[in-house]
């Protein structure tokens, strides 16, 4: 037994040491856009007038630095409305903003993330959101696969203080912003085909959550902006064939009053110019500038 335990320790001790150093290093060097966004929010929430929620589509298309209203982005890659709802509830305990912006891109009402997803994205760590069931791994910042933690560097110059990142997919760039190549690209075809099957129950859950958010915002005088950022036109055309599209239109007819609740649809804005896009549905920096300026113009119309 002694020999066995010694050999176990021979493997276990260096492994645990390695993991401890990795975790310490991850916490020290955490340079993710999510970390910057959460830090910005907690440092500035007293001055904030606007909050943005949504997926990477919002994170990459809205740069709070280009807006005339102090705004924080709480968007995160792959987010869904039920996650945005949790983030909104958390943020709303600290700040009552003049406006909140939610991503309402076509597929968003059809997405729902589990507790496991919320924990995997470390939202309990970054925003203090309580998971339904806490596990031991939730106490650590390093997430799987761990090799990514080895790639961290002290600073990330591509991310500004608001957590807006200049880092983009290089898909359209690699295809030389050429329409023919874009249409024929296998990965793009695969992406267009990977729409999640329509799920009425999930749509209903998300609609109810959004309605609850709207009720809270109405009561506290916060304007709700439902927003859909620009996408390349083949993505827009494909989205219009989905049942999600009609469902969203019905929902919007029910909630938008253009007084407290708005739908700012920029989907078709600049959709024919590939240079506005990094890939089929994410804007390039040029596209982000275009979208944020339009948002700023509309916000000015609303508040000034």
Q: Which is nearer to other proteins, 195 or 256 (CB)?
A: 195
The nearest distance, CB 11 to other proteins, in angstroms, is 6
Q: Which is nearer to other proteins, 141 or 288 (CB)?
A: 141
The nearest distance, CB 291 to other proteins, in angstroms, is 28
Q: Which is nearer to other proteins, 144 or 153 (CB)?
A: 144
The nearest distance, CB 89 to other proteins, in angstroms, is 26
Rounded CA gap, 140 and 26, in Å?
9
End-to-end CA distance of the chain: 77
The nearest distance, CB 198 to other proteins, in angstroms, is 12
The nearest distance, CB 241 to other proteins, in angstroms, is 12
Q: Which residue in 61, 192, 55, 33 sits closest to 111, CA to CA?
A: 55
Q: Give the phi and the psi of residue 285 in degrees, each rounded to 5.
A: -60, -40
Q: Which is nearer to other proteins, 146 or 216 (CB)?
A: 146
Antiparallel, parallel or unpaired: β 223-228 and 50-53: unpaired
Q: Which is nearer to other proteins, 187 or 275 (CB)?
A: 187
The nearest distance, CB 178 to other proteins, in angstroms, is 19
Q: Is 68 left (phi over 0), alpha (psi -120 to 50) or beta?
A: alpha
Antiparallel, parallel or unpaired: β 261-265 and 50-53: unpaired
| 219 burial via Cβ count (<10 Å: 0-12, 13-18, 19+) | exposed
Q: Which is nearer to other proteins, 7 or 297 (CB)?
A: 7
Residue ranges that bind other proteins, judged by CB under 8 A? 1, 3-4, 7-8, 11, 15, 18-19, 120, 135-137, 143-147, 150, 186-187, 189-190, 192-197
Rounded CA gap, 112 and 199, in Å?
10
């Amino acid at each position: 037994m002694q020999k066995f335990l010694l050999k176990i320790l021979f493997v276990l001790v260096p492994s645990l040491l390695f993991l401890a150093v990795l975790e310490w290093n991850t916490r020290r060097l955490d340079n993710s856009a999510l970390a910057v966004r959460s830090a910005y929010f907690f440092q500035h929430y007293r001055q904030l007038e606007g909050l943005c929620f949504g997926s990477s589509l919002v994170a990459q298309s809205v740069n709070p630095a280009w807006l005339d209203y102090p705004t924080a982005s709480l968007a995160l890659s792959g987010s869904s409305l039920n996650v945005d709802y949790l983030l909104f509830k958390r943020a709303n305990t600290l700040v009552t903003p003049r406006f909140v912006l939610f991503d309402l891109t076509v597929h968003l009402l059809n997405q729902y993330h589990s507790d496991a997803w919320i924990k995997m994205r470390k939202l309990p760590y970054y925003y203090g959101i309580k998971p339904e069931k806490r596990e031991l791994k939730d106490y650590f910042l390093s997430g799987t696969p761990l090799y990514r933690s080895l790639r961290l560097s002290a600073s990330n110059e591509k991310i500004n203080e608001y957590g807006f990142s200049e880092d983009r997919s290089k898909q359209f760039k690699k295809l030389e912003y050429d329409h023919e190549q874009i249409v024929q690209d296998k990965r793009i075809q695969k992406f267009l085909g990977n729409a999640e099957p329509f799920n009425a129950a999930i749509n209903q859950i998300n609609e109810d959550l959004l309605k609850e958010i709207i009720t809270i915002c109405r009561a506290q005088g916060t304007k709700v902006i439902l927003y859909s950022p620009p996408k390349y036109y083949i993505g827009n055309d494909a989205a219009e064939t989905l049942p999600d599209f009609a469902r969203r239109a019905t929902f919007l007819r029910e909630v938008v009053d253009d007084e407290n609740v708005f739908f700012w649809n920029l989907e078709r804005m600049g959709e024919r110019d590939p240079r506005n896009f990094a890939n089929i549905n994410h804007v390039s920096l040029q596209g982000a500038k275009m979208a944020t300026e339009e948002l700023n113009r509309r916000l000015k119309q609303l508040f000034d």
